[in-house]
Amino acid sequence: MLRGIADFAMKGRWQAALAAALLSVAAMLLPPLNYLASGVIVLATLRVGPQEGLRVMAATLVVFAAVAGLLFGQLWIALALLLTSWLPAYLVTLVLGYSRSLERALLAAAGVGILVVLISHVFLPNPALWWQEMLTPFVQLLSEQSGWQMDATETQNFLVQMASMMTGLIAAAVSVNIILGILIGRAWQASLYNEGAFGSEFTQITLGKTLATVTAVLMGVSLTGMAGSLTLLVDCLPVLLVLFALQGIAVAHAIVRLKQKSVAWLVVMYVLMVLMLPQMMILTATLGILEQWFNFRKRAIA
Q: What is the pLDDT of residue 280?
A: 94
- In whole angstroms, what separates CA 127 from the centre of its chain? 21
- pLDDT score of 67 more than 90: no
pLDDT(1) > 90: no
Query: How do residues 177-209 score in pLDDT, each as one tens digit?
Result: 999 999 999 999 999 998 888 988 999 999 999
HEC per residue, 178-214: HHHHHHHHHHHHHHHHCCCHHHHHHHCCCCCHHHHHH
**pLDDT band at 158; cut points 50, 70, 90:** confident
Distances (CA, A) of 124 to 127, 156, 161, 295: 5, 22, 18, 41
pLDDT of res. 108:
97
68 Cβ contact partners less than 8 Å away, ≥ 6 residues apart: 25, 74, 75, 77, 78
Rounded Cα distance between 267 and 18, Å, is 32
d(CA 38, CA 183): 10
What value does the mean pLDDT take over residues 22-28?
Answer: 89
Q: Please state which of the ranges 148-162, 225-239, 248-262, 269-283 shows the lowest mean pLDDT.
A: 148-162
pLDDT of residue 226: 84
Burial of 149 from C-beta contacts in 10 A (0-12 / 13-18 / 19+)? exposed
CB 46 within 8 A of CB 56: no
pLDDT digits (tens, 9 = 90+) for 210-236: 999 999 999 999 988 888 888 999 999
Give Cα 118 distance to the centre of its chain: 18
**Three-state secondary-structure class, residue 278:** helix
Spatial distance between the Cα atoms of 12 and 52, rounded to a whole number of angstroms: 10
Q: Rounded distance, CA 39 to CA 86, Å? A: 9
Tell me, what's the pLDDT at 302?
67
Looking at the chain, list the stretches that DSSP marks H as alpha helix, in order from N- to C-terminal side: 2-9, 13-26, 33-48, 50-71, 76-81, 87-99, 102-123, 127-143, 152-193, 197-203, 209-222, 231-258, 264-275, 277-294, 296-301
Higher pLDDT, 74 or 126: 126
Residue 269 has pLDDT above 90, yes or no: yes
Give the pLDDT confidence score for residue 11 in this predicted structure: 92
Q: How far apart are CA 245 and CA 25, in angstroms?
A: 29
Residue 47 pLDDT more than 70? yes
pLDDT score of 139 more than 90: no
User: The pTM is what?
Assistant: 0.93
Task: Give the span between the Cα atoms of 117 and 3, in whole angstroms.
Answer: 35
> How far apart, in Å, are the Cα atoms of 109 and each of 23, 91, 94?
21, 9, 11
- pLDDT at residue 147, as a whole number: 76
Note the pLDDT of residue 285. 97
The pLDDT value given to residue 213: 97
If you average pLDDT over residues 2-6, what whole number do you get? 87
